[in-house]
């Protein structure tokens, strides 16, 4: 174990995830869901990952947990690369996942106790039945479920309660790191607040580190320490949460941040919304060079020729854009 | 407070804090029901299915229990006893008729157990033969379905879960087996088995009594009939494995065996129960017409099909001998089919919509 505070808990280096898609009878083409993504997450930190639907956010989360085998790239956890099967198995005791849809992520034929206890069963984390039961009840208590719910089935619960069951399952192995894959987007707004606050509390109490994937910008801003903006399989900007909201540098982030609703009508009227033209291109035929150039108001010839480098502009603020000085 | 017809004042009594008893009343806690209990409840509401189920139970119990106390044996020729000439009066008795020695006994005041369905041409009590025939038919039905279930489920779930090349290879094998004519296979197999020396191997076991033909029937079921079951289960697994809870199980490190056993199987068990229930009558039917063609059980063991086949010889004089086993077959097949339909409606409510 490396206890050095400067070592990030999780580091992702040049991660690529291509899926082969059949076009025609014998031809297949790679779909670049995640294309050369690098970032790190410090201990007890929350990294928010935002972007349009289909930009590869979920794939990043799943590839980190090795649910998909990465096409290329390295994943380092606690100063150790996750490579062999044994590494992955060990890693899964420390890193878990909360899923987007609380309706389909719980097995309808299992009781709540069995759902929450599954990671315990898989990793043999108890010696007696009594110990298992106690651990399950403790977990249910963490997420605010009553102990009498243990013998019920998932379909008897509301969306918010189901998501709590999903969170309890993720906490079962005493993880250090949790990938939250849009954990609140399927819930209604009042429940979203409860669940988000619960994530916050659990982080303080258990010292968790989150990769928080979402497309609701306000939610991400509330919970994240740093935020990464993704576009078409690439991270275009990464900075502190406040920094990226007050001073976005990449033209895509600018457009994105201008779309955040402001609860003050006067300010909202004064703010000018940057409208992007066109749709997100298909990742099957991604544009050459900078992926954003087809919709970027500042695109030049250079953008079509070279892929912009992901470089540090100021401390902790990374941007991938050729014309960063000209625009700002 | 005085009441006016149009009074905008609210009644204070309506706004008293609720007592504990009232609060208790507001908490609606329904006892938790499981998938199985839900299904049974729906099944019991279905009258036809319930009656069919009772029918099946009665028939099954009857063919288990009746031979225990029935005074005649299925292979005992009543007219033949040691050291005496054959008594021809026992052959071809009509229902509730008696042989010569029995009539003498009745005349002497003894009670003789009646031959409810009479006797066959060899002087054997026909009722007990029908009971044994039913026993064989049900046995074949249940065991053949069990074989189909086990093989089909294993192969189907492996093909569905692994996907990719494994799936393609298994499904092509299934396609090939599908194209083989099953009747020809049964006939060829029983011919091959009869010459294989297997009969010596099974001497003295239960299998000897039911005969090589039935054994070949089992083998054919094991070899051929699992394909439709495995296709069905593969389809189910293919759609279920894309569910997020399977991904969740993989994310916490569960192995494929555990995922199939704990997550995929329980979720397609409804379909499995139903198709097994519908497989039983088709197996019984197959056995019956094979026996009818003379490829079924070895004599003197009867089966419903062979009883019907034997009855063809005396169809004009003794037509009831054909009708009885035919009715029993129809009754079993019909009630199993109706019960299977009821099961499907009860355990797969999605199909109804």
Contact A119 B253 (CB under 8 A): yes
Residues of B in contact with A89 (CB under 8 A): 253
A27 vs B264, residue with greater confidence = B264
- What are the tokens at A90? 């060990």
3-state SS assignment for residue B335: helix
Quick one: pLDDT at residue B156? 92
Give the span between the Cα atoms of A235 and A228, in whole angstroms.
6
Q: Residue A248 region, left (φ>0) first, then alpha (ψ -120 to 50), else beta?
A: beta
* Inter-chain CB proximity B32 and A152 less than 8 Å: yes
Please report whether residue B7 resides in a domain. Answer: no
Residues B95, B211, single domain; the answer is: no
CATH number at residue A86: 3.40.50.300
Q: Map tokens 């040049």 to a residue.
A: A14
Alpha-carbon distance A113 to B5, whole Å?
57
A76 to chain B, closest Cα gap in Å: 18
Per-residue model confidence (pLDDT) at position B243: 87
Which of B305, B239, B306, B235 has the alpha carbon at shortest distance from B272?
Answer: B235
Q: Which residue, among B244, B249, B347, would best test binding to A if mutated, counting the most A CBs under 10 Å from its CB? A: B244
B101 with B60, same domain?
A: no
- How many distinct structural domains can be found in chain B? 2
Do B115 and B208 fall into the same domain?
Answer: no
Rounded distance between C-alpha atoms, residue A272 and residue A257, angstroms: 11
The residue count of chain A comes to 328
B251 interfaces chain A, CB cutoff of 8 Å: yes
Q: Is residue A297 part of a domain?
A: no
Does residue B6 form part of some domain?
no
Bridge partner list, A39? A12
CATH number of the CATH domain containing B52: 1.10.3720.10
Task: Name the minimum distance, in Å, from the CA of A293 to any CA of chain B.
Answer: 35
Decide which of B92, B123, B154 is a domain's last residue.
Answer: B123
**Residue in B with minimal Cα distance to A89:** B253
Q: Tell me the C-alpha to C-alpha distance, in Å, between residue A211 and each of A6, A11, A226, B211.
A: 18, 12, 10, 67
Q: Are A321 and A290 in contact (CB under 8 A)?
A: yes
> How do beta strands A177-181 and A27-41 pair?
unpaired
Are both B150 and B275 inside the same structural domain? yes
Q: Which residues of A touch B250 (CB under 8 A)?
A: 67
Residues B232 and B203 reside in one and the same domain: yes
Instruction: List the A27-41 sheet strands across, edge first.
Output: A27-41, A10-23, A72-77, A80-81
CB contact under 8 A, B263 and A156: no
Instruction: For residue B2, tell me if it sits in a domain.
Output: no
Question: Strand pairing partners for A226?
Answer: A47, A240
Chain A residues near any Cβ of chain B (below 8 Å)? 62, 65, 67, 88-89, 92-93, 96-97, 99-101, 104-110, 118-119, 122-123, 151-153, 156, 166, 169, 172-173
How far apart are the C-alpha atoms of B234 and A8, rounded to whole Å? 44
Sheet holding A317-320, edge to edge: A95-98, A177-181, A209-213, A46-50, A226-231, A234-240, A317-320, A310-314
Q: At what angle do helices B304-311 and B126-162 cross, to 10 degrees?
A: 130
Predicted pLDDT at A30: 85
By DSSP bridging, strand A72-77 and strand A80-81 are: antiparallel
Of residues A108, A122, A153, nearest to B252 (C-beta): A122
| pLDDT one-digit tens code per residue, B115-125 | 888 888 888 88
Pairing between β-strand A46-50 and β-strand A209-213 as defined by DSSP bridges: parallel
Task: Clarify whether residues B197 and B85 are in a common domain.
Answer: no
Q: What's the confidence (pLDDT) of residue A175? A: 92
- The answer to the question of residue B18 being in a domain is no
Same domain as B86, residue B70: no
Residue B213 counted as domain residue: yes
- Say if residues A153 and A184 touch (Cβ distance below 8 Å): no
Do the chains contact at B254 and A107, CB–CB below 8 Å? no
Cβ-based contacts of B243 with chain A (< 8 Å): 104
Q: For B41, phi and psi rounded to 5 degrees?
A: -60, -45
What stretch of H or E contains A21? Answer: strand A10-23
Q: Which of A177, A158, A157, A37 is nearest to A98 (CA)?
A: A177
What mean pLDDT do residues B60-75 have? Answer: 88
Identify whether residues B110 and B222 lie together within a single domain: no
Return d(Cα B312, Cα B125) in angstroms, integer. 18
Cβ A276 vs Cβ A295: under 8 Å: yes
Residue B16 located in a structural domain: no
Radius of gyration of chain B (CA): 30
CB pairs under 8 A between A and B: 67
Average pLDDT over residues B37-44: 83
Query: Of A45, A54, A32, A62, which Cα lies nearest the Cα of A181?
Result: A62
Q: Please tell me which residue of chain A has the smallest CA distance to B268.
A: A109
- Which residues lie across from A16 on neighbouring strands? A72
Could you say which of B97, B123, B149 is where a domain stops? B123
Confirm or reject contact between B24 and chain A (CB < 8 A): no
B117 to chain A, closest Cα gap in Å: 50
What pLDDT sits at residue B10?
74
Structure tokens at B73: 């044996």
The count of domains in chain A is 1
For residue B308, count other CB atoms closer than 10 A to its CB.
Answer: 22
pLDDT at position B88 = 78
Same-domain check for residues B106 and B129? no
What confidence category does residue B295 fall into, taking pLDDT thresholds of 50, 70 and 90? Answer: confident
Domain of B90, in residue numbers: 77-123
Give the pLDDT confidence score for residue A227 in this predicted structure. 93
On whether both B48 and B71 belong to a single domain, the answer is: yes
CB A115 within 8 A of CB A107: yes
Length of chain B: 353
Tell me if A88 is assigned to some domain: yes
| Whole-angstrom distance, CA of residue A23 vs CA of residue A29 | 7
pLDDT at B353: 38
Q: Check CB contact of B254 with chain A, cutoff 8 Å.
A: yes
- Nearest Cα to Cα of residue B47 among B352, B351, B338: B338
Chain A nearest CA to B248, separation (Å)? 7
B35/A109 Cβ within 8 A: yes
Per-residue model confidence as pLDDT tens digits over B313-343: 888 888 888 999 999 989 998 999 899 888 8
Q: What angle do CA A129, B265, A68 make, to 5 degrees?
A: 90
| Token representation of residue B154 | 């294993």
B241 contact A CB<8A: no
Q: What 3-state class would DSSP assign to B176?
A: helix
Three-class SS of residue B196?
Answer: coil
Task: Provide the shortest C-alpha distance from residue B41 to chain A (in Å).
Answer: 17
Q: What is the CA radius of gyration of chain A?
A: 21
Q: DSSP letters along A192-235, please?
A: HHHHHHHHHHHHHHHT-EEEEE-S-HHHHHHH-SEEEEEETTEE
Per-residue pLDDT of chain A in tens (328 residues, 90 and over written 9): 344 456 789 999 999 999 888 877 778 888 888 988 999 999 999 999 998 888 888 999 999 998 888 999 999 998 888 888 888 888 988 999 999 888 889 988 888 999 999 999 999 888 999 999 999 999 999 898 888 888 888 888 888 899 999 999 999 999 999 999 988 888 888 888 889 999 999 999 999 999 999 888 888 888 999 999 999 889 999 999 989 988 889 999 988 888 888 778 887 777 777 888 877 888 888 888 888 888 888 888 888 888 888 888 888 899 998 888 887 7
Tally of CB atoms within 10 A around B346? 22
Task: Give the nearest partner residue to B252 out of A101, A110, A118, using CB atoms.
Answer: A118
| Confidence at residue A1, expressed as pLDDT on a 0 to 100 scale | 37
Q: Is residue A209 part of a domain?
A: yes
Chain B residues touching A67 at Cβ < 8 A: 247, 250-251
- The answer to whether the Cβ–Cβ distance between B253 and A153 falls below 8 Å is no
CB A224 within 8 A of CB A46: yes
Whether B352 shows a pLDDT value over 50: the answer reads no
Q: Is B266 on the interface with A (CB under 8 A)?
A: yes
Q: Which pLDDT belongs to residue A2?
A: 41
Whether B28 and chain A come into contact, CB under 8 Å, resolves to no
Please judge whether B248 and A105 are an interchain contact, meaning their C-beta atoms are less than 8 angstroms apart: yes
CB contact under 8 Å between B245 and A173, yes or no, is no
> Which chain A residues contact residue B251 at CB under 8 A?
65, 67, 92, 96-97
In this predicted structure, the answer to whether residue B349 has a pLDDT above a threshold of 60 is no
B151 touches chain A (CB under 8 A): no
Is the pLDDT assigned to residue B61 strictly greater than 90? yes
Q: Which chain B residues have a beta carbon less than 8 Å from that of A157? A: none
Under 8 Å between Cβ of B282 and B155: no
Interatomic CA distance for residues B343 and B280, integer angstroms = 14
Strand pairing report for A46-50 and A27-41 = unpaired
| Contact B252/A at CB under 8 A | yes
Q: Do the domain assignments include residue A35?
A: yes
Residue A317 lies in a domain: no
Encode pLDDT of B217-262 as tens digits.
Answer: 778 777 888 888 899 999 999 988 888 899 999 888 888 889 988 8
Distance CA A164, CA A143 (A): 6
The answer as to whether A274 is a domain residue is no
What is the rounded CA–CA span in Å between residue A196 and residue A192? Answer: 6
Within a domain: residue A101? no
- Which chain B residues are within 8 Å of A109, Cβ to Cβ? 35, 266-267
Rounded to whole angstroms, the Cα distance separating B129 from A243 reads 91
Contact between residue A323 and residue A290 where contact means Cβ atoms under 8 Å apart: no
Phi, psi of A276 (to 5 degrees): -95, 140
């Amino acid at each position: 174990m490396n206890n050095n505070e400067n070592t990030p808990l999780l580091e992702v280096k040049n991660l690529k995830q291509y899926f082969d898609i059949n076009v025609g009878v014998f031809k297949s083409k790679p779909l670049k869901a995640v294309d050369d993504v690098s970032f790190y997450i410090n201990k007890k930190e929350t990294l928010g990952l935002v972007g349009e639907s289909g930009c590869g956010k979920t794939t990043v989360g799943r590839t980190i947990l090795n649910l998909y085998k990465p096409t290329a790239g390295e994943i380092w956890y606690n100063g150790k690369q996750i490579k062999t099967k044994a590494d992955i198995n060990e890693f899964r005791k420390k890193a878990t996942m909360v899923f987007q849809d609380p309706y389909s992520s719980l097995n309808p034929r299992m009781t709540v106790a069995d759902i929450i206890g599954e990671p315990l069963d898989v990793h043999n984390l108890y010696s007696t039945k009594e110990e298992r039961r106690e651990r399950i009840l403790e977990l249910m208590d963490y997420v605010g479920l009553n102990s009498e719910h243990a013998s019920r089935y998932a379909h008897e619960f509301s969306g918010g309660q189901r998501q709590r069951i999903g969170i309890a399952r993720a906490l079962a192995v005493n993880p250090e790191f949790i990938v939250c894959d849009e954990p609140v987007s399927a819930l209604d707004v009042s429940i979203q607040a409860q669940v988000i606050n619960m994530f916050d509390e659990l982080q303080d109490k258990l010292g968790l580190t989150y990769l928080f994937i979402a497309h609701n910008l306000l939610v991400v801003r509330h919970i994240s320490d740093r935020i990464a903006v993704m576009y078409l399989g690439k991270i275009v900007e990464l900075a502190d949460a406040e920094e990226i909201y007050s001073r976005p540098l990449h033209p895509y982030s600018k457009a994105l941040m201008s779309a955040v609703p402001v609860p003050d009508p006067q300010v909202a009227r004064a703010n000018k919304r940057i409208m992007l033209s066109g749709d997100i291109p298909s990742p099957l035929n991604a544009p050459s060079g900078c992926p954003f150039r087809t919709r970027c108001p500042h695109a030049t010839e250079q953008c079509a020729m070279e892929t912009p480098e992901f470089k540090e502009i100021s401390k902790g603020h990374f941007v991938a854009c050729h014309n960063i000085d000209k625009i700002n | 407070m005085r009441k006016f017809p149009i009074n905008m004042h609210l009644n204070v009594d309506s706004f008293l804090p609720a007592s504990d008893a009232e609060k208790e009343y507001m908490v609606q806690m329904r006892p938790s029901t499981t998938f199985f209990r839900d299904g049974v409840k729906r099944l019991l509401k279905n009258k036809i299915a319930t009656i069919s189920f009772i029918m099946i139970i009665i028939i099954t119990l009857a063919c288990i229990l009746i031979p225990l106390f029935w005074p005649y044996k299925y292979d005992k020729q009543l007219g033949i006893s040691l050291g005496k000439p054959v008594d021809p009066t026992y052959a071809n008795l009509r229902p509730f008729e008696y042989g010569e020695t029995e009539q003498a006994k009745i005349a002497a005041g003894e009670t003789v157990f009646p031959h409810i369905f009479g006797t066959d041409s060899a002087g054997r009590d026909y009722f007990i033969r029908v009971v044994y025939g039913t026993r064989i038919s049900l046995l074949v039905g249940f065991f053949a379905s069990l074989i189909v279930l086990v093989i089909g489920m294993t192969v189907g779930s492996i093909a569905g879960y692994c996907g990719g090349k494994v799936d393609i290879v298994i499904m092509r094998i299934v396609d090939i087996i599908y194209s083989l004519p099953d009747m020809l296979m049964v006939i060829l197999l029983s011919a091959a088995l009869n010459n294989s020396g297997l009969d010596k191997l099974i001497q003295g076991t239960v299998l000897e009594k039911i005969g090589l033909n039935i054994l070949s029937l089992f083998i054919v079921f094991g070899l051929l009939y699992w394909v439709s079951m495995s296709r069905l289960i593969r389809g189910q697994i293919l759609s279920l494995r894309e569910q997020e809870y399977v991904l969740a199980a993989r994310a916490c490190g569960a192995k494929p065996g555990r995922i199939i056993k704990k997550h995929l199987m329980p979720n397609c068990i409804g379909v499995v129960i139903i198709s097994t229930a519908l497989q039983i009558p088709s197996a019984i039917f197959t056995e019956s017409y094979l026996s009818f063609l003379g490829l079924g059980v070895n004599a003197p063991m009867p089966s419903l099909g062979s009883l019907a086949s034997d009855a063809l010889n005396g169809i004009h004089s003794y037509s009831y001998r054909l009708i009885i086993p035919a009715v029993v077959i129809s009754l079993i097949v019909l009630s199993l089919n109706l019960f299977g339909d009821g099961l499907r409606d009860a355990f797969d409510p999605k199909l109804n919509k």
